[in-house]
Copies of this chain bind each other. A is one copy, B any other.
Amino acid sequence: MTPPLERDSYHHGDLRHALVEAAVKLIAERGAEGFSLREAGRLVGVSPTAAYRHFADKSALLGAVASDGFSRLAAAMEKGMARAPGAAGGPERAVARMAALGEAYVDFALRHPSHFRIMFGPWLRETECVPGVGPSGKDPFQLLVETLDEAAAAGVIPAEARAGAEVVAWSTVHGFAALVVDGTLPLSARERAAALRRVLTGVLLALGADASRLPPVEAVKFATRCS
């Protein structure tokens, strides 16, 4: 964390990154609504209007926060997929990687609900947010496309079901995450893992895949909501 207060030099050094960090922290603590540009400035020990040297307005800062969120999401997806069991190129692994993608997505949404909402909410104006990539340089949507391509290559998804599979898969997992995060779907911690498994099974069926290959969902990951 960049030094929150107390500064010797007149210039901060890396105010832009510090502001994004502070915004992420504040949003995690108090939600997207309670967040204010002035408070972010206060947190990094800078005047209330200093942020305007780095961001056109509040919305632009939120765009940077969203971009950061996509990076973290992509990283979580890659990490989850790396642990998928099965032989490389085989159907078991392809299914496991698809499931890992979905699990990482929902897990991220549950752990960082406010961040998740900013990434997809109405705060960003059109094309204000550059997606943000993970360690491998790919954004979450690219990871999805590649994983589906692999599944098609492994024979898990029949060719006639490949078209538009991104939209179906993403919609389903995103919808589940959004409904759970917003509290619209009132699931207890225990029910969440079971519901997610049904949702992932549904995605596989929708894509014409053999859902019996779906590995179990680790319930513990979906037990807590963090920020």
Contact = CB atoms under 8 A, between A and B. Distances in A.
Interface of A: 31-33, 114, 117, 120-123, 126, 163-164, 167-168, 170-179, 182-185, 194-195, 198-199, 201-203, 205-208
Contact of A168 (B163, B199, B207): B199
Would you list the 8 A-B pairs with minimal beta carbon distance, nearest first?
A175-B175, A202-B206, A171-B175, A171-B176, A174-B175, A168-B202, A164-B198, A172-B172
Contacts of A174: 175, 178-179
Oligomeric state, in copies: 2
Contact of A167 (B31, B168, B183, B185): B185
B31 A164 contact: no
B123 A33 contact: yes
A202 B207 contact: yes
A126 B203 CA distance: 30
A223 B90 CA distance: 41
A181 to B, nearest CB: 9
A167 B176 contact: yes
A199 B207 CA distance: 10
Contacts of A178: 120, 174-175, 178
Contacts of A185: 167, 170-171
Nearest to A195: B167
Of A32, A168, A173, A195, the most chain B CB neighbours within 10 A belong to: A168
